[in-house]
Structure formats: structure tokens, C-alpha cells
Amino acid sequence: MSTATTDPSAELAELGKFFTIAARRFDAGGAAPEMFSAAIDTAWHALAADPAAHEAFALQHVGRRLTHVESKGFGTITWVAAYEEAYGALPEIWFTDADGVVNTEALTQYRETGTVVAEWNCGPKPDPGDGDDLTPAASYL
């Protein structure tokens, strides 16, 4: 394991991409993507502590409100290919814990196989009051 030096804006940039992947999955009738990065989830929790800022962030990135929900599990992260298609390879921050320590074993496995196997504790969910102000998928794809 190594320690990464991260800038909180890196976590938020990746959270925005994650929200975009989530919205695309929701639009296609798919399940919520799994949030497996403790570093990015920590930034999400900080953002969610300010509901107005969280809403503005979600609206900026996907044109709709998303909420943070508990969703525990372990297994293959199902949205990696969609991320790679849109943005390229997952950066190191996805394999970083809340203290800035990189899980080099998981990162190496991903780089060698293209697969991420991890544990997650949460994920996004469309805001239940968000029904009539959804932006059509084409506007942010």
C-alpha cells in the first residue's frame, strides 16, 4: 500500500463522473452503481452535509437530484466498462481509502485484468421527488 497525495477536487471530479454513470444506468433501467472508493465516498459525505451544495452538484453533473443511500455488498464492480468507455481507465483515487492510502494490490489487479472486485457501503439513488424535472438522457451523454 502507498500513500497518495490527493486534492479534494480530484475526488469531486470523480464523483461527478460517477453521478453521470449512475444517471445513465438509471435511464437504461439498470441498478445503481457501487461506490467502492472510500476517498470519493468521504468527499460525497462532506458534500451531502450541505443539501443545497449536493443538489447543485448533482444538477450540474446530471441534471437531476440524486441521494446517497446505504447499499452494502462485495463483488465485481459492474460499471467499470461504462466508465472506461466514457473517461478512460480508472485513476488511482478510486483505489484510495479515506486516509489517502492506495490499495496497490487492488489497483494492480485492475490494471492487469480490467476488473475491480471490492466491497461497497453505499450508492446513489434518484431523488423520489425528482419525477417531473428529469433532464432527458441525450442532454448529458
For the stretch 100-126, pLDDT in tens is 999 999 999 999 999 999 999 999 998
For the stretch 58-74, pLDDT in tens is 999 999 999 888 889 99
Instruction: Tell me which residue has cell 438509471.
Output: 26
Distance in angstroms (rounded) separating the CA atoms of residues 125 and 68: 6
pLDDT at 7: 57
Distance in angstroms (rounded) separating the CA atoms of residues 42 and 76: 21
Cβ atoms of 4 and 92 within 8 Å: the answer is: yes
Q: What is the pTM of this model?
A: 0.84
DSSP state of 35: B
The beta strand positions in the chain, using DSSP E, are: 2-3, 66-76, 101-102, 117-126
